[in-house]
Structure 1
Amino acid sequence: MGLFSSIKQWQENRKQKYIADMQAKGVCPDCRGRGFDLYYPVEYYNTSPSIECQGCNGSGLFSDWASQIK
């Protein structure tokens, strides 16, 4: 169990570092400040749709993302 717990801890530390980096930049961690997601998980979609980011409601700001989390 030591190996699995250390992997889980490593993943959590990596996630927290990523969120801290995005907070320092002031951008949403989900869309990286774009306000939309380029990837839409529908098979055989012919155009590249822009879907509003669910994390920040399309603003791209970290403050809006943080208010959604709480």
Structure 2
Amino acid sequence: MHLIKLFNKWRNERFEEHVSKMKVENKCPDCYGRGFIVYPANVYSFHSDHFRCPGCEGSGLYEDWKPH
């Protein structure tokens, strides 16, 4: 049980570091400032599906980012 708590603490600290870095760069932490998120359509296909980032509504800016 203690190992799970340590892992969750590490994961949360890492996420907070990522969010603070993206804030300095004024980029959305979910899409890294691209405005869209890529989901692989299939492991065996060479194309991917692009979807507008739900966190920043496609702007790519940190100021528009809404954490969910």
Query: Normalised by the size of structure 2, how large is the TM-score?
Result: 0.80
Per-residue deviation, residues 43-69 of structure 1 (Å, max 9, x unmatched): 47774443211110000000100xx23
Which runs of 5 or more structure 1 residues have no equivalent in the other structure?
none
- Root-mean-square deviation over aligned CA pairs: 2.0
Partner of 2:39: 40
Show structure 1 runs of 4+ deviating over 4 A. Answer: 44-47
Amino acid of the structure 2 residue aligned with 1:8: N
Matched, 1:4 2:24: no
Query: Can you give the 5+ residue segments of structure 2 that lack an aligned partner in the other structure?
Result: none
Structure holding more helix per residue: 1
Residue aligning to 1:69: 67
Q: 1:5 to 1:48 in 2, by over 3 A?
A: closer
Counterpart amino acid of 2:67?
A: I
> Per the alignment, in what secondary structure is the counterpart of residue 27 of structure 1?
coil
SS state of the match for residue 50, structure 1? Answer: strand
